[in-house]
């Protein structure tokens, strides 16, 4: 997580599916299909809220937020790969908005992971789930610790005199 001179409080206004996937919970069609237990937008929202809350950066409600996030999920699941390897991929963009000024900045994040396939469906389901979870963790880490978020917060707070500090050594 970024370290800011003055810790902003974020609020997630909405998470929107922009994947154009008619079955967003199905991540693999072969072998009778492998499905997620919840919609990807709910999984992304929950993971982002937990990360912000753990860093004490989640606002208690929209009116107390310094910055509002609107998340657009473009990919959540498996990307094209060989039949033996599965490539998990999570991509999203966040529109970071200062509710007082109305200014916005877009921040992109992506995460990938490679996992092995399996001969048995039960093992395959486990591998695919772990792969997608790792991809989500990677995307969240790239978003929350990335330079784009640091710059966005700095740009949106330039008039308020709050500039982000250097990121932590990881």
9 within 8 A of 59, measured Cβ to Cβ: yes
**Which structure tokens are listed for 151?**
């710059």
Q: State the pLDDT at residue 167.
A: 44
Averaged pLDDT, 142-158: 89
| Residue 100 belongs to some domain of the structure | yes
Rounded CA-CA distance 88/115 in Å is 8
Q: State the pLDDT at residue 24.
A: 79
Give SS3 for 89.
strand
Q: State the pLDDT at residue 124.
A: 74
| Residue 167 belongs to some domain of the structure | no
pLDDT bucket at 163, cuts 50 / 70 / 90: very low
Its domain, for residue 84, covers: 10-156
Averaged pLDDT, 149-158: 86
| Residue 26 belongs to some domain of the structure | yes
Q: State the pLDDT at residue 82.
A: 53
| Residue 70 belongs to some domain of the structure | yes
**Which structure tokens are listed for 164?**
């982000």
Rounded CA-CA distance 14/102 in Å is 17
Q: With a cut of 80, say whether residue 13 has pLDDT above it.
A: yes
pLDDT bucket at 77, cuts 50 / 70 / 90: confident
| Residue 82 belongs to some domain of the structure | yes
Helix pair 40-54, 121-145: axis angle to 10 deg: 50
Q: State the pLDDT at residue 44.
A: 96
Q: What is the DSSP letter of 119?
A: S
| Residue 163 belongs to some domain of the structure | no
Q: With a cut of 90, say whether residue 12 has pLDDT above it.
A: yes
Task: Provide the CATH number for the domain around residue 145.
Answer: 3.40.50.10610
Tell me if the pTM is above 0.85.
no
Q: With a cut of 90, say whether residue 34 has pLDDT above it.
A: no
| Residue 5 belongs to some domain of the structure | no
**Mean pLDDT for the chain overall:** 84
For the chain, how many structural domains are there in total? 1
| Residue 89 belongs to some domain of the structure | yes
* pLDDT tens profile 102-113: 999 999 999 988
């Amino acid at each position: 997580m970024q370290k800011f001179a003055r810790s902003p409080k974020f609020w997630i206004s909405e998470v929107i599916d922009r994947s154009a996937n008619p079955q967003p919970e199905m991540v693999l069609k072969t072998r009778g299909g492998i499905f997620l237990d919840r919609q990807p937008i709910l999984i992304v929202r929950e993971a982002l809220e937990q990360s912000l809350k753990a860093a004490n950066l989640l606002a208690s409600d929209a009116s107390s937020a310094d910055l509002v996030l609107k998340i657009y999920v473009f990919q959540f699941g498996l990307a094209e790969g060989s039949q033996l390897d599965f490539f998990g991929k999570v991509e999203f963009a966040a529109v970071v908005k200062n509710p007082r000024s109305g200014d916005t900045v877009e921040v992109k994040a992506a995460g990938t992971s490679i996992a092995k396939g399996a001969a048995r469906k039960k093992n395959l389901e486990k591998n695919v789930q772990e792969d997608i979870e790792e991809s989500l963790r990677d995307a969240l880490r790239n978003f929350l610790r990335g330079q784009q978020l640091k710059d966005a917060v700095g740009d949106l707070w330039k008039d308020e005199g709050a500039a982000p500090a250097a990121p932590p050594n990881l």
